[in-house]
């Protein structure tokens, strides 16, 4: 089987980050592995679209596509997946996560071993002792150590079998998909480090953010609806 991947990045007003991310992805991967980078815009007003369009003209080895979608990360991710041609889908956050060098070869190697979905371990771009500890814990397979900032690879076949991202979730959509993968015992953590932004922790305070995320996790555990989780997030972290 010819394993090639489609990278899918949802954006909304990410002019500050999207150009750097695309260039990093191209620098740290091979065109023979990465079929395309699909950027799914949810209605940006800051020039993000123009940046992506310019890069699509400048870069020739890997195709860069810009598509538009109704706002909502789960919807954008699903729309990107529907346009993808690769046998492996790699979902990445535009504003925070930079995968390791040769991430493409690492992912393809796992898929060839029969590991059809997973993520990288994570490191925050912060020296705060708690965030360093949280980063260290992401090397382990425990479900509680997972999150969307670690990125997500999954074969197209498995993604379609699960039904994609649950679009009723405006937040926590990554975790819902991860829950489904853990339920199928189909998840692996690649022991290479992805760097992610601690911006949210700097803006709202490390302990406050950690507490709010824990509350969201517990609320979902006890059956809170997608709307309840979204309302709580908007009240405390937006």
Reported as half-sphere exposure (CB side, CA atoms, 13 A), residue 121 has a value of 15
Predicted structure pTM score: 0.95
Residue 61's pLDDT band (cuts 50, 70, 90): confident
% residues pLDDT > 70 (the chain): 99
Residue 11, strand partner residues:
41
User: Is the predicted pLDDT of residue 1 greater than 90, yes or no?
Assistant: no
User: Is the predicted pLDDT of residue 142 greater than 70, yes or no?
Assistant: yes
Phi, psi of 77 (to 5 degrees): -65, -45
Residue 125's pLDDT band (cuts 50, 70, 90): very high
DSSP H stretches of helix in the chain: 18-27, 48-58, 73-83, 103-112, 129-137, 156-162, 173-183, 199-204, 206-221, 226-237
Mean pLDDT of the chain: 94
Q: How far apart are CA 164 and CA 78, in angstroms?
A: 6
Mean pLDDT value of segment 205-225 = 95
User: Is the predicted pLDDT of residue 25 greater than 80, yes or no?
Assistant: yes
Residue 189, strand partner residues:
119
Q: How far apart are CA 196 and CA 12, in angstroms?
A: 18
- The angle, 0 to 180 degrees and rounded to 10, between the axes of the packed helices 18-27 and 48-58 is 30
% residues pLDDT > 90 (the chain): 90
pLDDT tens, 170-209?
999 999 999 999 999 999 999 999 999 999 999 999 999 9
pLDDT of residue 56: 92
Length of the chain as a residue count: 238
User: Is the predicted pLDDT of residue 164 greater than 80, yes or no?
Assistant: yes
pLDDT tens, 73-92?
999 999 999 999 999 999 99
Q: Which of 82, 70, 19 is nearest to 43 (CA)?
A: 70
pLDDT of residue 147: 86
The 3-state DSSP class for residue 208 equals: helix
């Amino acid at each position: 089987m010819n394993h090639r991947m489609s990278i899918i990045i949802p954006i909304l007003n990410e002019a500050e980050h999207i150009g750097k991310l695309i260039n990093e992805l191209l620098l740290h991967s091979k065109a023979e592995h990465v079929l395309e980078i699909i950027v799914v815009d949810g209605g940006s007003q800051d020039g993000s679209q123009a940046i992506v369009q310019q890069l699509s003209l400048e870069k020739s080895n890997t195709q860069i596509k810009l598509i538009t979608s109704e706002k909502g990360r789960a919807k954008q991710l699903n729309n990107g997946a529907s346009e993808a041609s690769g046998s492996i889908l790699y979902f990445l956050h535009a504003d925070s996560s930079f995968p390791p060098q040769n991430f493409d070869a690492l992912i393809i190697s796992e898929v060839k071993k029969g590991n059809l979905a997973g993520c990288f371990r994570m490191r925050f771009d912060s020296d705060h002792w708690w965030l360093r500890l949280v980063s260290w814990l992401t090397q382990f397979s425990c479900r509680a150590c997972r999150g969307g900032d670690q990125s997500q690879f999954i074969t197209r076949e498995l993604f379609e079998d699960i039904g994609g991202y649950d679009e009723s979730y405006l937040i926590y959509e990554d975790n819902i998909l991860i829950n489904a993968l853990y339920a199928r015992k189909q998840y692996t953590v690649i022991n290479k480090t992805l760097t992610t932004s601690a911006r949210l922790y700097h803006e709202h305070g490390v302990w406050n953010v950690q507490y709010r995320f824990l509350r969201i996790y517990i609320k979902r555990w006890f059956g809170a609806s997608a709307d309840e989780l979204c309302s709580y997030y908007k009240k405390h972290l937006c």
